[in-house]
Structure 1
Amino acid sequence: MILPILAYGDPVLRKKASEIQKDYPNLKELVANMFETMYKASGVGLAAPQVGVPIRLFVIDATPFADDEELSPEEQKVLEGFKKVFINAKMEDESGKSWLFNEGCLSIPDIREDVSRKDTIKITYLDENFKSQTEQYDGLLARVIQHEYDHLEGILFTDKLSSLKKRLLKGKLSNISKGKINVDYRMRFPDMKKAR
C-alpha cells in the first residue's frame, strides 16, 4: 500500500524516533509499504517518520545510483542491488573528509542543495530479521544512510545549510507546508491537513 509522505513542517519530522521491539505490530507490512511508497516516489531511501510513524526504521534501495557513469565500476557494483532495512540504527562513527553532494528529500520536494557530510560511517542496526549488524560504509552509500539516519533524529537536510541559504528557501519551504506544490506521489501537508 502506498502511504502519504509527510511534507516539510509536519511536527513528526522533528521528533526523535523511538526504538522498537521484535513484536512491533505489522512491522513486515510497514516495511513492504515503505518500499512501495519509496519506489512510487522515485526515492532511494525512506524513514518511518516520513510516513508518520515515529520509530527508528528506514529502508534504502541504492540501485538507481548504480547507473551513475561518474562512479567507478567498483562503486557501481556496491550500489547495484543494495537494498536494506535498518531498525534501531545507531551511528557509531562518522569520519574521513567532508564532501559536498546535491541532496533532495521526498518530504521536501523540488528543493535540492549541496550538503557537506563525512565520507565514511560505522553504523550498528538490526536487520529485518532482528539480527544485529555492525557495518562500515563510505561514499554515496554512507551519504544515503546518513540522510535517512538524520530523519530518526528529527534532522532534515535543510538544517545543514547556511543561514543565508535557509533564508532564501523560507518561502519555498512555506509553500511546501501549505501544499502549494505539484508532486506526482501522495503527500500529507501540515497546513492542509489532508493527503493529496
Structure 2
Amino acid sequence: MQLNYFLMKLSKQLLSAYLIILITVFASCSTNRFTLKEKRIIKKSGTNNIMQIMLVSNQTDSITLYKKSRNIKADSSNRHLTTLVQKMYVTVRDTNNPGVGIAAPQIGINKRIIWVQRFDKQEKPFEAYFNTQIVYYSKTKSEGREGCLSIPGYRGFVSRSDTIIVNYDLLNQTNLTDTINGFTSIIFQHEIDHLEGILYTDRIKDKSKITKRIKKN
C-alpha cells in the first residue's frame, strides 16, 4: 500500500516536472519566433522598403506601442529577422522623416530590436542591437529635449541618466556589455523605453513641457 502511494506521488512529481519543462521550452520557442501578423508586417512595405510608423494618435497603433516587447534570437540565418533589420534601417534613414533611433514596436513588431545612431563613435554609424537591457543608470541626470517618430510634431524635456551600461546581442550572436555616455546614452534610453512599452511623454510629469515643433521654412 505504501509502495503504491510512493509510486503515485513520484509519478505526479515527474509529471509536474515534465510539464514545467514543456512550458519553458514552448515559451522559449514562442519568444524567438515572429507571429504570423509580424511576418506579414515584415513582408509588407511601402516605397523603397520604408515601413509604416506606428502613431500614438492611432488607437490600434497605441496598443502595440504600449505593449512590452519580447526577446528574439539574434540569428543572421533568420531571413525574416534580417529583412526586418534592413527595413528598419531604411525607415529610420528616410530623408523625409529621419530619426536618430528606432525600435521594432514603432513599426508594429513587439520584439527587442533597436537601431541607434552612435554619435559617440567617429563615423557616427547606425548600429542594430538585439535584446538590449540597461544594467546600470548613473545617478547624475540631465534634462534634454526629445522627439519621437511615433509622436510627430511634438517635443518635450525629459530627465535621463548621463551614463548607462547596456548589455545586448549582435546579429552574429555576440553578446556585449557597453558603457554609453552623453547624447548617445539618451538615444539608447529612449529606444529601450519603447521596448518596455514606454513613450518619452510618459516620463514627463509636467505636460506643459511638451510643445509643438515649429517647422522652419
| TMscore range, shorter length | 0.7 to 0.9
The answer to whether residue 90 in structure 2 is matched with residue 42 in structure 1 is no
The answer to whether residue 73 in structure 2 is matched with residue 21 in structure 1 is yes
Contact 1:79–1:141 (Cα < 8 Å) also in 2: no
The answer to whether residue 64 in structure 2 is matched with residue 12 in structure 1 is yes
Contact 1:124–1:134 (Cα < 8 Å) also in 2: yes
Mapped to 2, the partners of 1:157 and 1:84 lie a distance apart of 21
Shift of 1:146: 0.4
Structure 2 regions of 5+ residues with no counterpart?
1-48, 213-217
Contact 1:46–1:60 (Cα < 8 Å) also in 2: yes
Larger RCO (CA under 8 A, 6+ residues apart): 1
TM-score, normalised by the number of residues in structure 1:
0.74
The answer to whether residue 50 in structure 2 is matched with residue 2 in structure 1 is yes
TM-score, normalised by the number of residues in structure 2:
0.67
The answer to whether residue 100 in structure 2 is matched with residue 52 in structure 1 is no
User: Tell me, what secondary structure is at the counterpart of 1:6?
Assistant: coil
User: Tell me, what secondary structure is at the counterpart of 1:123?
Assistant: strand
Read off the aligned partner of 2:109 and give its amino acid letter.
V
Q: Which structure features the higher share of helix residues?
A: 2
Shift of 1:90: 1.1
Instruction: Report Cα offsets for 1:50-96 as digits up to 9, x if no partner.
Output: 00000000011245xxxxxxxxxxx6xx3632321110111101104
Q: Which residue of the partner structure matches residue 205 of structure 2?
A: 162
Instruction: Report Cα offsets for 1:133-154 as digits up to 9, x if no partner.
Output: 1000011010000000000000
Matches within 5 A, 1:1-196: 1-9=49-57, 10-22=62-74, 26-40=80-94, 41-62=97-118, 78=121, 80-165=123-208
Contact 2:146–2:157 (Cα < 8 Å) also in 1: yes
Q: Which structure features the higher share of strand residues?
A: 1
Mapped to 1, the partners of 2:203 and 2:196 lie a distance apart of 13
Mapped to 2, the partners of 1:44 and 1:159 lie a distance apart of 20
Q: Percent identity?
A: 36
RMSD: 2.1
User: Tell me, what secondary structure is at the counterpart of 1:46?
Assistant: strand
